[in-house]
Structure 1
Amino acid sequence: MTEAFTEHPSPGKIARNRLYRMMEELLEIADVRLGGNRPWDIRLMAGGVPERVFTQGNLGLGEAYMDGAWECDRLDELYDRILRAQLDRHVKPLKLMLHSLQARFLNRQTSRKAWEVGEAHYDLGNDFYAAMLDPRMTYTGGYWADASDLVEAQEAKLDMICRKLRLEPGMRVLDIGCGWGSFMAYAAEHYGVECAGVTISKEQTAWATERYDGLPLEFRLQDYRSINERFDRIVSVGMFEHVGRKNHRTYMELVHRCMNDDGLFLLHTIGKNRRKSTTDPWIDRYIFPNGDLPSIGQIGDACDGLFVVEDLHNFGADYDKTLMAWHANFERAWPRFEDELGQRFYRMWRYYLLSCAGAFRARDLQLWQWVLSKDGVRGGYQRPEGASDTAHATAPWPTPA
């Protein structure tokens, strides 16, 4: 009598099946299913995704998406659920330990390295960003309290900054990380100030210099560490994320040195909830090289003995709406850029915008505006409330065509 032949699965197949089940069980915590039909469920289109996730974390998950190995109809909803369930704390691959150690102990934002993000990200092309952003090219989170669209949200944010800084005609303002000059132009047009701005992007400098030729604005291709002038007000909108924890104190000392004694400094920055966390490795590799989101504690340490914190305003939930608006613009404009940038870039950029929207929705990321003074505002500082309060100085400068 002959025994029936039974095929035994290979060790490799057993390991793959085990990783699949582990990923399935992990996702169930966040109410996400592998092969499900809900908008936030994951559909595997190729093998190897669980292996990439458990060996490389979000770096592997993001690269697998870029490669078309999995699909999801609503990446923003998927990431909202993943981060709400804190699944990222369950997956800690050994391969990423070096990235974590480098972020904690090395200065990855030196004056030499600071230019890398400009070349890799901000110099993608002005036409590309013009298609995704609002007409002022404002590449930071908007203020949506009374806004119905992206244009209104960004103008409300810019006006709120001007009012928080108590701008007056004739003041001289420094913008550290000025981007395409949206704040500088708005402040000059509506509040009658003069501005100098620094950026590490050649594309931004050229575009803003040409666009705002008729306004009292100076755009400089310059690292912030080389600034050595005095200003009535200083602002930094969406740049501190590139400074790095090793340079926070140097940055604040520079602001203190360059600001007049009765001046105000407004710091607008994305922030993280945990002091000891490190930059997401996928974002670091593909979107913002050498980025380092600060925590409240790290910013507080950097300010210690230099500034009085007059106001701290968190409207991080609004960034979700901004990112979704950028994504909608990006999708509409994509046919214009498809041949030049390709499908892998499309999936990378979509993953960037929608995963970040989910992170803000889950309140895993924050958006803070700090107002700082050197010695405290006499009588106390009162934050101007409401985005609908549009009372401001009459613009003495002509608006550029």
Structure 2
Amino acid sequence: MSSYRDEVTGILASADIIVGGSRPHDIRVNNEAFFARFLKDGRLGLGEAYVDGWWDCDALDVMFVKLFASRHKVSRQLKSARFLATAMRAKLLPAGSDKRAYNIGAKHYDIGNKLYEKMLDPRMVYTCAYWKHATTLEAAQEAKLDLVCRKLKLEPGMHVLDVGCGWGSFAKFAAERYGVRVTGISVSKEQIDLGNKRCAGLPVSLEYMDYRNLSEQYDRIVSIGMFEHVGLQYYDIFMKKMTEALADDGLMLLHTIGFNDSKFFNPWLDKYIFPGAHVPSLAQITSPMENRLTVEHLQNIGVNYDPTLMAWYDNFMAAWPELEGDYDERFKRMWSYYLLSSAAGFRGRFIQVWQFVLSKEGVPGGYYFDEEARFKSGRAEHGPSV
């Protein structure tokens, strides 16, 4: 086992992470089998070992920032002949633990509304907030929703399609503040049921439906944090369907997380949090838009996801005494790992959040958007920005 320890210790040290060190971002190993597991399964083994309690870290987010920032150094070590030989020996060993069928993420959005009610803001927005002029999660999420509404240039009476509507946070906000009618679709029954209750009395209809079954046209389309779940092989179908569903003079806003690298893949996140999801690169998003949609505006708001995720983590930990009756300690570790490692990715600018404003054939005369208009009078200005 000493050779496994030496290899992993060296890899982590190159990222300024010390095994058994005293700094908050250093790690403590609770099970010596961790080293072989890391060598055998890489990022997947690292995450699974944490959930199993094989290692701990007091500042998991800071540790991951350092690990991500040193990825090139780490990569060189992982390709060395000595490492490959040691890793091969580790792969030949039987698994060091009984890997239970632990795949709570298979029902990510249906694992209980109580968790999300405690973790999220009062509107239950489960996407990146916008903190430019905000100091609280609630204000930052309202700022993001208003940013989206203004980019879409919403006007009273418009019919808006919300693809992947969640618990109806955007639909409710847009109907209340901008006087539009909203049809939302989602493949989560729990989200639809609760969302319709939260939107009662408003011109909002949330439906349990896949985007491929859409048949109407809409003045505006919005999709916030849903595109990551479409799957790379279906991007062409998605863009074709959105083009068909958008009115000829309409606008669509697509809000999605994105990776800088088209080949990057996170096996742990795929297995335990978002099974089957694909976080796209910019190239993968824009290619299926060709000859269909015109990019009118593109903004990267990814730096805002770090404070959003940290706020969710703080809420989750504060609510844990109320949640632990419904979830076990493994879930707590899994969810913490998900939130903090994700925050690190955005903090280090390794992961982005892109907001596209799209039209069918280009807005006549051009599309103009004044982001600061909202703050000129200290309140949202709901007219079109010019």
- TM norm structure 1: 0.86
SS of alignment partner, residue 291 of structure 1: coil
Give the alignment partner of residue 39 of structure 1, picking from 24, 31, 49.
Answer: 24
Residue matched to 2:329: 343
Structure 1 residues 64-99: Cα deviation after superposition (integer angstroms, max 9, x where no partner): 11111111001100111111111674558999xxxx
TM alignment of 1:105-144, pairs within 5 A: 120-144=107-131
- Among 186, 203, 206, the residue aligned to 1:219: 206
Aligned to 2:355, what secondary structure does the other structure show? strand
**Match in the other structure for 2:217:** 230
User: Which stretches of structure 1, 4 residues or longer, exceed 2 Å deviation after superposition?
Assistant: 87-95, 116-119, 386-394
Partner of 1:149: 136
Offset at residue 22 of structure 1 (A):
1.3
Q: CA deviation at 1:117?
A: 9.6
1:35–1:43 contact (8 Å) kept in structure 2: yes
Residue type of the alignment partner of 1:76: D
Counterparts of 1:385-396 in structure 2 under 5 Å?
Answer: 385-386=371-372, 388=375, 390-393=379-382
Q: Contact 1:118 / 1:200 at 8 angstroms: preserved in 2? A: no
1:379 aligns with 2:368: no
Distance 1:20 1:388, change over 3 A: farther
Seen in structure 2, the aligned counterparts of structure 1 residues 61 and 176 have a Cα distance that, compared at 3 Å, is same
**Cα distance in structure 1, aligned partners of 2:31 and 2:231:** 37
* Aligned CA-pair RMSD: 1.9
Q: Is the 8 A contact 1:191 1:392 kept in 2?
A: no
State, as a whole percentage, how many aligned pairs show the same letter: 48
1:388 Cα deviation after fit: 3.1
Specify every segment of 5 or more residues in structure 2 that has no aligned partner in the other structure, as ranges.
89-102
- The letter of the residue matching 2:21 is G
Larger deviation: 334-343 or 376-385? 376-385
| Offset from partner CA, 1:293-319 (integer Å, 9 cap, x none) | 011001110101111111110011110
User: Offset of 1:49 from its aligned partner?
Assistant: 1.0
Query: 1:385 offset after TM fit, Å?
Result: 1.2
Out of 280, 288, 293, the position equivalent to 2:279 is 293
- Cα distance in 2, alignment partners of residues 138 and 377 from structure 1: 30
Give, in angstroms, the shift of residue 119 of structure 1: 5.9
User: Is this contact kept in 1: 2:150–2:382, CA < 8 A?
Assistant: no
Aligned counterparts of 1:296 and 1:178: Cα–Cα separation in 2: 23
| Aligned-pair CA distance for 1:52 | 1.0
Q: How many angstroms does 1:276 deviate by? A: 2.1
1: CA distance between counterparts of 2:104 and 2:61?
A: 25
CA contact (8 A) 1:192 1:393 kept: no
Residue identity in the other structure for 1:295: S
Other-structure match for 1:9: none
Q: Deviations over 1:248-299 (max 9, x none)?
A: 1110000100100110010000000111222x11111110010100110011
1:82 maps to what in 2? 67
Change (3 A) 1:380 1:362: same
Counterpart AA for 2:279: L
Contact 1:142 1:156 in 2 (8 A): yes
Question: Which structure 1 residue ranges, 5 or more long, are not aligned?
Answer: 1-15, 96-115, 395-401
Determine whether 1:365 maps to 2:354.
no
Task: Summarize the Cα distance change of 1:75–1:314 in structure 2 as closer, same or farther, 3 Å threshold.
Answer: same
Tell me, in whole angstroms, the C-alpha distance in 2 between the residues paired with 1:277 and 1:283. Answer: 12
Structure 1 residue 134: Cα displacement: 0.3
Cα distance in 2, alignment partners of residues 321 and 393 from structure 1: 27
Confirm or deny: 8 A CA contact 1:30 1:82 kept in the other structure.
Answer: yes
Deviations 1:10-55 (A, max 9, x none): xxxxxx2112111111112211111101111011011111111111
Alignment counterpart, residue 251 of structure 1, candidates 238, 241, 251: 238
Q: Distance in 1 between matches of 2:194 and 2:24?
A: 39
CA distance in 1, matches of 2:15, 2:109: 34
1:125-146 Cα offsets, whole Å, 9 max, x none, are 1111000000000000000101
Give secondary structure in 2 for the equivalent of 1:23: helix
SS at match of 2:375: coil
CA distance in 1, matches of 2:104, 2:131: 28
Report how far residue 339 of structure 1 moved: 2.3
| Matched letter for residue 229 of structure 2 | H
State the partner residue of 1:48: 33
Question: What number of residue pairs does the alignment pair up?
Answer: 358
2:237 aligned with 1:268? no
SS in 2 for 1:246: helix
The aligned residue for residue 99 of structure 2 is: none
Q: Could you list the per-position Cα deviations for residues 317-345 of structure 1 after superposition, in whole angstroms to 9, with x for gaps in the alignment?
A: 11000000000000000011112211000
Give me the whole-angstrom Cα distance separating, in 1, the residues matched to 2:233 and 2:198.
Answer: 35
Question: In terms of mean alpha carbon deviation, does 364-373 or 25-34 score higher?
Answer: 25-34
The normalised TM-score by structure 2 is: 0.89
Q: Say whether the 8 Å CA contact 1:168–1:192 is kept in structure 2.
A: yes
Q: 2:180 aligns with which of 186, 193, 196?
A: 193
Q: Which amino acid aligns with 1:391?
A: A
Bigger relative CO (Cα 8 Å, ≥ 6 apart): 1
Please give the secondary structure, in 1, of the residue aligned with 2:185. Answer: strand
Q: What amino acid maps onto 1:56 in structure 2?
A: D
